[in-house]
Amino acid sequence: MRITLILLLLATLTQAQNQDDIQLANEYLLKGDKKKALEMFKELAKQEANHPYIYNNYFNLLLDISAFDEAQKFLQKLSKKDPLNIQYNLDHGLIFVRSGELSKADRYYKDLISENKSNAQRIKMMSDFFMARSLVDYGIQALSDSRQALGNPYLFCLELAMLHRIKGNQDKMVQEYLSYVTQSSANIQYVKNVMQALLTKPEELESLEKLLYEKIQAHPDVEVYSDLLIWVTMQQKNFYASFIQARAYDKRYRREGEKSMEVARVALDNEDYDNALKVYRYVIREFPNTQTYLLARLGLIRTREARVKKSFPVNKDSVQILIDDYRDFTNQYPDNVNSLEAARSEALLFANYLDQKDSAIHIISKLLLNPRTSLHLKSKAKLDLGDIYLLKGEPWESTLLYSQVEKVQKENPIGYEAKLKNAKLSYYKGDFRLAQEHLDILKQATTREIANDALDLSMRIKENIAFDSVGEALKQYASIELLLYQNKNEEALKQIELLKEGRVQKSPNVKTGGAILSNQTDSTLSISNQTILDDVYWLEANIRMRQGEFEKSIGLLEKIIQDYGDDILADDAYFLRAEIYERQLSQKDKAMEIYREFLNKYPGSVYAAEARKRYRSLRGDFNGQEQPQM
């Protein structure tokens, strides 16, 4: 018994020493001292118990130093003990690859694949091995041969899609994803997400569209192909084609206009008002007495509202008609939850376009007291109420309401929106430090739009404070933005002229020092405005556009393009100039010319996809042509 304990103790000590030596050998390898590492691994390899711990590093080191014979001997020794170990089998072939004996490697790997093709688990391990070592063709062969041997054409779809993607075989990659999506409708969102990330060029989407038409003709009863076809035409922003397919889809699968409504919502979000209106009117006509009917009624009003807001200057009579339509909807369907949203929209029109803030507050207050109003809608309504109080010049009421929503809706998108509004309030007041604290949190927001808005405002603050620590130009700019928010356009334009001249109005809140020259004798102070001038021109261009002064707006946008062509607002200015020619001045040829120039000049812009769609639309690519139906 005593001898046994002594032997056990000695074995434990030996193993502990070996572990220390293994760690030291690995450290030498990590530091690049291959000679010392090799000496230690050779010694450790003499004891079989060490093999599992040193195998990967020792074997790869032997390959790195081209000690192929030694690697072969080491591997043969291990394989005798465990001949079925797939890792050892694969590494035998790797010795041929690394030593340049590619024909031997090819025969060896093909034989290995053939021997194991009926074992899906081993084939998957082999595929992972090949992909990790850039031997992609063998990975594809292993999976394809196994799929055939097992008689399952849907096996390894995602794995093969990945390998075809690595090889650049996009058509084959797409085919595998389509095979994957047919296995379960639950897979469709995953495939949409992947394709949205991978198929970014117009010709790639067109190729997928063509393939889906072929799939639908060959397999008309496979619903996911129809769903994907609608999706891909929406990705191309060809909403008329999307509508044609969605209309057929809804009829075929008895969906009461659900897919058509999806197309209408996306078209509206992309400001394709004509097609959004077509779809909503179709649903209203074809699906009465359904839930989608009421949503389409409301969507129709919202689309008209969006169009009115984009027609400058905004016509107040048109706004009043919209208010009447929303009110008719709420009166006709008083017990329907959609009426609550309609009431909210009515209130915002009163506040923002008719300057009837008290009417707006009355409607929102009733909405908040309504027991049928959900927590989410109440939160949105509170934010609306905060906005209205800001319009009235009562920012303390606004921040109180924003903070209430922020507290109740923590870690939710609407809570982040409330925090962003509080950040903007601090920004308007010139408290850039507090605004930045809010924005730093929001840059990590889960909602991309909020995160981007936070990042944009944060960058503006940092850029201007970097050159003017007092931030007087930015304070003036922020105050102008507040005036615009409050619809005080003329007052804002006067302040813009001062800021363009490098002056601000004297006020108790304006400190002397920093960039300010305190020897002024009039009612203004001189400041440094160079870092913010492009933003000032952009702001004025938008005001002029909203007032219907399109030529002045275009002139300011051209100044941004000419004087600040390398800055962040250049592509915004270029795109907006084209939009004015297209939508406000109805000069289609001029708009087409600018969109074409834009695509050549800013191919990586966030507006590129929209510019391409508008160019194609103006060229007549989407002029109501009938698409092959499902």
65 contacts: CB under 8 Å, gap ≥ 6: 34, 38
Residues 562 and 526 in one domain: no
Going by pLDDT thresholds of 50, 70 and 90, the confidence category of residue 469 is: low
Going by pLDDT thresholds of 50, 70 and 90, the confidence category of residue 622 is: confident
Assess whether pLDDT exceeds 90 at residue 165.
yes
Q: Rounded to an integer, what is the distance from CA 68 to the centroid of its chain?
A: 48
Region 173-177: mean pLDDT is 95
Residues 503 and 541 in one domain: yes
In a domain, 490, yes or no: yes
Region 220-236: mean pLDDT is 95
Q: What is the 3-state secondary structure (H, E, C) of 101-130?
A: CHHHHHHHHHHHHHHHCCCHHHHHHHHHHH
Q: Which of 527, 548, 569 is where one domain is finished?
A: 548
In a domain, 38, yes or no: no
Stronger pLDDT, 153 or 448, i.e. the higher one: 153
For residue 29, what pLDDT is reported? 85
Region 543-554: mean pLDDT is 96
In a domain, 339, yes or no: no
- Which residues form the domain of 565? 554-620
Residues 496 and 540 in one domain: yes
Assess whether pLDDT exceeds 90 at residue 4.
no
Residue 237, amino acid: K
For residue 31, what pLDDT is reported? 87
In a domain, 589, yes or no: yes
Tell me the per-residue pLDDT of 253-307, one tens digit each, with 9 for 90 and over: 999 999 999 999 999 999 999 999 999 999 999 999 998 999 999 999 999 999 9
Strand partners, 524: 505
Region 30-40: mean pLDDT is 88
Residue 349, amino acid: L
Q: Domain count for the chain, please give it.
A: 2
Residues 575 and 539 in one domain: no
Assess whether pLDDT exceeds 90 at residue 116.
yes
For 191, what's the count of Cα atoms within 13 Å in the CB-facing half-sphere? Answer: 27
| Summary mean pLDDT of the chain | 90
For residue 515, what pLDDT is reported? 35
Q: Which of 15-19, 181-185, 559-563 has the highest mean pLDDT?
A: 559-563
Assess whether pLDDT exceeds 50 at residue 520.
no
User: What is the separation, in whole angstroms, between the first and last Cα of the chain?
Assistant: 83
Q: Which of 532, 548, 564 is where one domain is finished?
A: 548
Angle between helix 157-167 and 136-150 (nearest 10): 150
Going by pLDDT thresholds of 50, 70 and 90, the confidence category of residue 624 is: low
Assess whether pLDDT exceeds 80 at residue 43.
yes
In a domain, 561, yes or no: yes
Residues 558 and 605 in one domain: yes
In a domain, 497, yes or no: yes
Q: 3-state SS of the chain: helix, strand, coil percent to 5?
A: 75, 0, 25
In a domain, 580, yes or no: yes
Assess whether pLDDT exceeds 60 at residue 357.
yes
d(CA 44, CA 51): 8
In a domain, 10, yes or no: no
For 156: left if phi > 0, alpha if psi spans -120 to 50, otherwise beta; the answer is left
Tell me the per-residue pLDDT of 442-468, one tens digit each, with 9 for 90 and over: 987 778 889 889 999 999 899 888 666
